[in-house]
Amino acid sequence: MDDCLVKLVKPIVDTARTKIWSWHYLWEGRPWPLTLRLRFFGEDKEIGQLRQLLDEKLKDISHCYGEHGDCGEGKEYKGEADGNDGWGSKAWEAGMKFLQTGSEFALELVDNKNKLGNSKEYKKSAVHYADRYTHLFLNQISSLLDEVDFDLKEGFSRFALRVVRKTKPSLPDDKILSATGPLVHQTIEESKHELQEKIEALARALNFASEKW
């Protein structure tokens, strides 16, 4: 995965950067179990030239053009401003910038993974940067949602997706999340209650130990 990003994607992006409006990548499970989706936005002429470059670079690698894992002629990723699951025009405009920033930073971290946590340029680990990246954005929109509840729901829901996909890889994510939603909610509430009791007991023990010491 890292070689694919550093040796293949990075040179392509560096070549195309001045000719496109935006780009990003994601790792997905369609159409192949491990699929790298590259998305580019720009003028038709520039995208056509970029497609020729991709055909040349990917001639020995299984690839296809399409949208959301569906390949074939006539299928083209149009972004996610419109449609039933669309973000909305202004939200997608910001979303493209967000996805590109994330892709640029992720690619930089992967390319410099040997320096993470032990260099002047990258003093922290990938875990630290992931924590900062997600926590700070959730902090910025804290008037709209509760960060802890959001994190727990996302974590358990993503785990549910991973488990179900092993036996039902073709089942859409929304179907999986709808079916597992009640169980995920129950698990979250039970986990929060159990963890709170343990942490409160630990806090009392630490306070007692501190007073004795």
What digits encode the pLDDT tens for the residues 80-125?
999 888 999 999 999 999 999 999 999 999 999 999 999 999 999 9
The pTM of the full predicted model, rounded to 2 decimals, is: 0.86
Q: Write the pLDDT tens digit of every residue in 48-79.
A: 999 999 999 898 989 999 988 889 877 888 89
Q: For residue 6, give every residue at least 6 positions away whose Cβ sits within 8 Å of its Cβ, in sequence order, or none.
A: 107, 110, 111
Please give the C-alpha separations between residue 137 and each of 11, 56, 82, 93, 147, in angstroms, as whole numbers.
30, 38, 24, 17, 10
Q: Which residue has the tokens 């590109």?
A: 100
Average pLDDT over residues 175-199: 95
Kindly state the tokens that stand for 64.
Answer: 């296809």
